[in-house]
Structure 1
Amino acid sequence: MKILDVAEFFSSRGGGVRSYLEELVRQGSRRGHEVVVVAPGPRDEEVALEQGRIVRVAGPPMPYDPTYHALLRLGAVRAIIRREAPDVLQASAPYTAALVVAGERTVPLRTFVYHSDQISTYAAPLLDRLRPRAVARALEGALFAWPRALSRRFDATIAPGTFIAEQLSAHGCERVHRVTFGVRRESFDPSRADPALRRSLLGRFADEPSAVLLLVACRLAVEKRVALVIDAARELAARRPVALAILGDGPERARLERRAAALPQVSFLGFAKDRATYAALLASADVFVHGGAAETFGFVLGEALCSGLPLVVPAAGAAMDFVSPGAAETYPARAPAAEVAAAIERVLQRPRGERAAAARAAGERLPASDEHFDALFALYADLLARGQAEGRAARRPPPPPHP
């Protein structure tokens, strides 16, 4: 099977969508499939990855985050699709990528992978403040007209987890298939904790038995709401020794550094240089605190659980797919920092060994990355076979009339 993905959110810095698509290429290669990813970039470029390729189409940098580029040369993308002649053509973004893929009617199977919940990210915070609530619900329904329209033009819409599958179905999207994303569980484990790394991040509190290390890991952008986590750490620091480690980079970094300047101990780490360092960070912290209220999956949340790191997450979006007793605490999606701090305190009330064991057990229940891709490729094979059968049936001549 040959799969071609058209992406838009493909940062030169990294990120969840890019990591997933590169893993799609690798996992497909190991199963005998050829996977080609077409994504905007700073220049026209083609890079081999195992048995597949990443094809970059030059586009201008995005104003807010110039590590992303706009997919504007749709003619070039269409030419690549027709040259490659894939069996499966999938869109990984709801804008120009989806329009291009939806228009390629000669491809046997067209799918839309719901990587980004733009409505919950940008519209929901405004709608939450709107009264009466009936008006807000009506406007939300109107906004979902676009995903509904897209779903009618694709053979399948792939939802990465339970929350998104239910959300799309509730708003009338058609042919929604839940193929839960997976975690590379073998890469994350409590045994990867690094005491020296932990001491360095605790800094002035390294010799305090009651010191707590909070970890944030995400792109430093407005929608990730890292400012809320910083404010919660400040609330907590008034009551106990707290160190905050922020893993990631992005357009909000300078503003967040200024906001965090008053914290007694904070580290801005940028992106981890390798997977081993990243795994050690997860295993060495006490609580993973997440601000984003509009996740479609949240790989880092699953990786934290596999590392024995309990979560504090908003009660919204796909973060809720990772919540289980003893392994996570929640706070209302629009809560102030004091309520986030209270959720962190609830985690810390349990003995460290108990909460780490609960988190690890929750991580073990998540699908593995291999299981996700097995399910995805099996679904595509089934849909292709069904499409071929329906095509044969449509071409079959009618039976002769009865004598």
Structure 2
Amino acid sequence: MRIVDVNEFYSPTGGGVRTYCDRKMAILADMGHELIVVACGREDRVEERPGGGRIHYLKSPRMPFDKNYGLFWDRGAIHDVLDHYDPDVVENCSPWRPAWFVAEWQGRAIKSFFVHNDNVEAYAKRWLSGVASGERIERACAWYDRYQQRFLDRHDTVVTNGPAMTERLRRRGVRVDATMTLGIDRRHFSPELRNPRLRTALLAQCGLPADGHLLLGIGRHHPEKRWPVVIDAVQRAGAALPVGLVILGQGLDTRAIERRIGDSPHIRLFRPVYDRARLAEIMASVDGFIHGSDAEPFGLVGYEALASGAPMIVPDTGGMAEVADPLFAETYTGRDAHSCAAAIKRFFARDPALLRRAAGVAAARVRSDEDHAAELIAHYQSVIDRRLARAA
């Protein structure tokens, strides 16, 4: 099976969509399938991947507020690429121009809309949270759901990346045909990678001794990640506890986050770690993983942390809430720094050995991305078979 993913959210500089696509490409190649990602680039070029698959970059304008991402603008260029590759399946995940470009293409492939994010949750609710309830915001944004349904009606299948997204969309009357829960690359992550010397070194970077508490946050510096909530909470909890926080990431909000941290000696920003083995070692070595976004559709990085044996502190809604089990996690009211600070205090009042033991047991049950890929291929084959049966 050849799949072409017209993916406006794929960035060569990182992000969850890139991690997902790169790994899926390798898995599908091992299964005898081919994934070609059509991505926004600064120039037209094709990047072949070892073992199969490729990234086909189309020269595209940059997104105004985040130069790491681009915007597909040329319908003809997309259609030419799809004609060239003649896929069995076309995937798309952008609800804007690419959704219509794919819907209007006249090729033989089935068309799949893969929901990776929800703009109502990530943007409208974030922007308007101070003036209206979530229910009122959803009602006010019903026009967006009706807009989505118009192009979804022209796709053969609509899949989401997890139960949280499915529940959210169906509650608003948006079509979902299948929930294809994501998984992680389990080859890299393990509690056995815990390195006490690395933990001590990271605490020292935060100006704390070896008996201090070490939290890790990972993600883009973007408003939807709610880093100010996490930073404020750590600073509040730090008034009573020796808590250090390491944040791995970068993005359009880096300067604002630096200002938010100010002269706090116990919070450090570091660039993203792209070496998976090194990242896994860091995850396994911290005392806890902490996350701020309550709009996360799927907790990919949370599952990686859990597979590394890291207990966690996460919001009580969104994809990360699905990861959290009271045996190894504390939750807090999303967007509330006071609630998050209280969760940090509860977390470090618990027996650390029991927390880590519970997380270690859960680590063995984290879903793999190979399971996800196999289920997705089976779903696409069933859609193709139904189409063929109708045509017979």
TM-score normalised over the length of structure 2? 0.94
Name the counterpart of 1:323: 324
Structure 1 residues 53-111: Cα deviation after superposition (integer angstroms, max 9, x where no partner): 11000112222211112211221111000111111011022112211111124333110
Whether 2:357 is the aligned partner of 1:357: answer yes
Distance 1:134 1:170, change over 3 A: closer
Whether 2:296 is the aligned partner of 1:295: answer yes
Distance 1:269 1:314, change over 3 A: same
Name the counterpart of 1:116: 117
The Cα shift of 1:262 comes to 2.6
Aligned length: 390
Larger Rg: 1
Structure 1 Cα separation of the partners of residues 47 and 71 of structure 2: 19
Name the counterpart of 1:347: 347
The Cα shift of 1:23 comes to 1.6
Name the counterpart of 2:382: 382
Distance 1:321 1:42, change over 3 A: same
> Contact 2:220–2:250 (CA<8 Å) still a contact in 1?
yes
Task: Trace 1:276-287 onto structure 2 (pairs within 5 A).
Answer: 276-287=277-288
Structure 1 residues 309-332: Cα deviation after superposition (integer angstroms, max 9, x where no partner): 112111222122212122222111
Structure 1 residues 36-61: Cα deviation after superposition (integer angstroms, max 9, x where no partner): 11010111110111221110001122
Structure 2 Cα separation of the partners of residues 250 and 359 of structure 1: 30
Structure 1 Cα separation of the partners of residues 133 and 162 of structure 2: 31
> Contact 1:305–1:327 (CA<8 Å) still a contact in 2?
no
Residue 37 of structure 1: SS of its match in structure 2?
strand
Among all aligned residue pairs of Structure 1 and Structure 2, give the percentage whose two residues are the same amino acid: 33
Task: Trace 1:231-310 onto structure 2 (pairs within 5 A).
Answer: 231-310=232-311
Residue 245 of structure 1: SS of its match in structure 2?
strand
The Cα shift of 1:17 comes to 0.5
Structure 2 Cα separation of the partners of residues 93 and 334 of structure 1: 26
Task: Trace 1:177-192 onto structure 2 (pairs within 5 A).
Answer: 177-192=178-193
Partner amino acid for 1:389?
A
Distance 1:201 1:126, change over 3 A: same
TM-score normalised over the length of structure 1? 0.92
Structure 2 Cα separation of the partners of residues 361 and 81 of structure 1: 45
Whether 2:64 is the aligned partner of 1:69: answer no
Residue 69 of structure 2: SS of its match in structure 1?
coil
Structure 2 Cα separation of the partners of residues 152 and 143 of structure 1: 14
Partner amino acid for 2:10?
F
Structure 1 Cα separation of the partners of residues 311 and 248 of structure 2: 17
Structure 2 Cα separation of the partners of residues 70 and 81 of structure 1: 17
Residue 57 of structure 1: SS of its match in structure 2?
strand
The Cα shift of 1:29 comes to 0.8
> Contact 1:242–1:264 (CA<8 Å) still a contact in 2?
no
> Contact 1:57–1:73 (CA<8 Å) still a contact in 2?
no
The Cα shift of 1:206 comes to 4.8
Distance 1:216 1:82, change over 3 A: same
Task: Identify which of 201, 207, 210 aligns with 2:209.
Answer: 207
Whether 2:35 is the aligned partner of 1:35: answer yes
The Cα shift of 1:126 comes to 4.0
Distance 1:381 1:256, change over 3 A: same
Q: Which runs of 5+ in 2 are unaligned?
A: none
Structure 1 residues 119-154: Cα deviation after superposition (integer angstroms, max 9, x where no partner): 101101344444577643421433322332232221
> Contact 1:13–1:67 (CA<8 Å) still a contact in 2?
yes
> Contact 2:24–2:369 (CA<8 Å) still a contact in 1?
no
Distance 1:243 1:295, change over 3 A: same
Structure 1 Cα separation of the partners of residues 132 and 123 of structure 2: 18
> Contact 2:120–2:138 (CA<8 Å) still a contact in 1?
no
